[in-house]
Amino acid sequence: MSSPTVDSYRELAAALNPTTVQQYLAANDWELESQVPDVREIWRLAGDRARIMLPLATDYVDFDLRFSDTLKALATVYAWDPDHLAERITATRADLFFVRFDQEMIDGTIPFRQAEEALDGVFQMMKAAATTAWDPTHSHRGRRADVVNHFLEDDVRLGHTKRGSFVFTVVTRLGDPLPSKDDGTAQVAFPRQVTTTLARGLGAARDLAAHWDERALDNAAELGLSASLVESMVNLTEPDTLRTLDLSFGWASAEPRPDVPSSVIVNRDIMAGLPRVRERLTRREEPPRRETLVGRVRSLNREEVGEEEPDATTIVLSADVKGRSRKVHIPLSGTDYDHAILAHRNRLPLIVTGDLVFQGRSWNLTGDITVDARYVQDFLSREQAHESSLGPQHVTYLEEAAGQAYGTFDVPDEDPVPPHPVIQTRESHHDRLDPAENEDQRGGRS
CA distances to 340, 366, 371, 411 from 343, in Å = 5, 20, 12, 11
Q: How much is the average pLDDT of 295-315?
A: 81
Residue 43 has φ and ψ, to the nearest 5°, of -115, 140
Listing from the earlier edge strand, what are the strands of the sheet with 263-266?
A: 156-159, 167-173, 94-103, 242-250, 263-266
Residue 389 — pLDDT band, cuts 50, 70, 90?
low
Listed residue (338, 320, 316, 339) closest to 328, CA to CA: 316
Q: How much is the average pLDDT of 247-263?
A: 90
DSSP characters over 2-71 = PPPPHHHHHHHHHH--HHHHHHHHHHTTEEEEEEETTTEEEEEETTTTEEEEEE--TTSTTHHHHHHHHH
CA gap 349, 346 in Å, rounded: 9
Q: For residue range 310-322, list pLDDT tens digits in order.
A: 778 899 999 988 7
User: What pLDDT, on a 0 to 100 scale, did the predictor assign at position 403?
Assistant: 44
- 73, 105 contact by CB (below 8 A): no
User: What pLDDT, on a 0 to 100 scale, did the predictor assign at position 267?
Assistant: 95
Question: Counting runs of H as helices and runs of E as strands, what totals does the chain give?
Answer: 14, 14
CA gap 184, 168 in Å, rounded: 38
Per-residue pLDDT for 438 more than 80? no
Higher pLDDT, 233 or 401: 233
Listed residue (399, 296, 426) closest to 352, CA to CA: 296
Residue 264 has φ and ψ, to the nearest 5°, of -130, 115
User: What pLDDT, on a 0 to 100 scale, did the predictor assign at position 41?
Assistant: 92
Higher pLDDT, 312 or 51: 51
Instruction: Note the pTM of the prediction, 2 decimals.
Output: 0.65
Q: How much is the average pLDDT of 155-167?
A: 74
For all residues of the chain together, what is the average pLDDT? 82
CA gap 236, 264 in Å, rounded: 14
Which sign, positive or negative, has the C-alpha torsion 398, 400, 406, 412?
negative
User: What pLDDT, on a 0 to 100 scale, did the predictor assign at position 411?
Assistant: 46
Per-residue pLDDT for 158 more than 90? no
Of 78-82, 223-227, 398-402, 432-436, the least confident: 432-436
Q: Give percent above pLDDT 90 in the chain.
A: 42
Which DSSP category does 156 fall into? E
- 68, 9 contact by CB (below 8 A): yes
Listed residue (153, 169, 29, 156) closest to 86, CA to CA: 169
- 41, 35 contact by CB (below 8 A): yes
Other CB atoms within a 10 A radius of the CB of residue 333 amount to 14
Beta carbons within 8 Å of 133's beta carbon, 6+ residues apart: 190, 193, 194, 196, 197
Per-residue pLDDT for 407 more than 70? no
At 411 the three-state DSSP class reads: coil
Per-residue pLDDT for 122 more than 90? yes
Listing from the earlier edge strand, what are the strands of the sheet with 50-55?
A: 30-36, 40-45, 50-55
Other CB atoms within a 10 A radius of the CB of residue 38 amount to 9
CA gap 35, 338 in Å, rounded: 82
Per-residue pLDDT for 230 more than 90? yes
Higher pLDDT, 430 or 82: 82
At 75 the three-state DSSP class reads: helix
Per-residue pLDDT for 378 more than 50? yes
Question: Going by DSSP bridges, is the β-strand pair 324-331/362-372 parallel, antiparallel, or unpaired?
Answer: parallel
Residue 254 — pLDDT band, cuts 50, 70, 90?
confident
Higher pLDDT, 238 or 403: 238
Q: Which helix (H) or strand (E) holds 19?
A: helix 18-27
Q: How much is the average pLDDT of 112-124?
A: 92
CA distances to 59, 68, 200 from 171, in Å = 28, 22, 18
